[in-house]
């Protein structure tokens, strides 16, 4: 696989389709992300989260270092999962689920599919996530996926690093 994340393919799970977000998805991305309950957990999300913000997020910083993938249930965007190359040896994952789709196991199902894909495509890279300890739902998702707390503070305030493996 190429050094970057731009070539990550779409995936299907039992209930979901994981499809890299494109500019045509910006309105749907804005609609599910313009939510204070989501923005307070994801440090780079603005409030309000506009269509312009969605387009900038989808386009990324360039260089194939970031990839945001839509979590689709039928024709609805249920959430987003992302992968971000960090340095030369790590990948960080993160996600958010639309309020209307929370509590259905979508983050765990999408996370398992993305982790399997990243392990196959980037076997030499460490996979990690950062999470606030008080974000109990997300912490549980990460533990179900096989992540373990390292005791190391995250790069962002209030977060801790969890490592896969």
pLDDT in tens, the chain (165 residues): 445 898 889 999 999 999 999 999 999 999 999 999 998 888 889 999 999 999 999 998 778 899 999 999 999 999 999 999 999 999 999 999 999 999 999 999 999 999 999 999 999 999 999 999 999 999 999 999 999 999 999 999 899 999 998
Which residue in 79, 87, 78, 157 sits closest to 127, CA to CA? 87
Count of CB atoms within 10 A of residue 19's CB? 16
Burial bucket for residue 151 (CB in 10 Å: 0-12, 13-18, 19+): exposed
Ordered by where they begin, the domains of the chain are 11-126 (3.40.630.30)
Q: Considering just the CA atoms, what is the radius of gyration of the chain in Å? A: 15
pLDDT for res 1: 43
Cα 47 from Cα 20, distance rounded (Å): 23
| pTM assigned to the model | 0.94
């Amino acid at each position: 696989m190429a050094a970057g994340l731009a070539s990550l393919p779409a995936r299907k799970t039992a209930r979901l389709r994981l499809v890299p977000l494109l500019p045509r998805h910006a309105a749907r991305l804005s609609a599910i992300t313009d939510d204070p309950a989501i923005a307070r957990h994801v440090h780079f999300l603005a409030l309000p989260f506009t269509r312009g913000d969605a387009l900038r997020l989808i386009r990324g910083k360039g260089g194939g270092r970031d990839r945001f993938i839509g979590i689709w249930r039928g024709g609805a965007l249920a959430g987003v999962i992302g992968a971000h190359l960090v340095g030369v040896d790590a990948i960080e994952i993160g996600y958010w689920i639309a309020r209307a789709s929370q509590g259905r196991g979508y983050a765990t199902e999408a996370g398992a599919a993305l982790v399997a894909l990243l392990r196959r495509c980037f076997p030499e890279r460490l996979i990690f996530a950062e999470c606030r300890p008080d974000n109990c739902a997300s912490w549980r998702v990460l533990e179900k996926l096989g992540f373990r707390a390292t005791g190391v503070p995250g790069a962002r305030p209030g977060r801790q690093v969890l490592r896969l493996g």
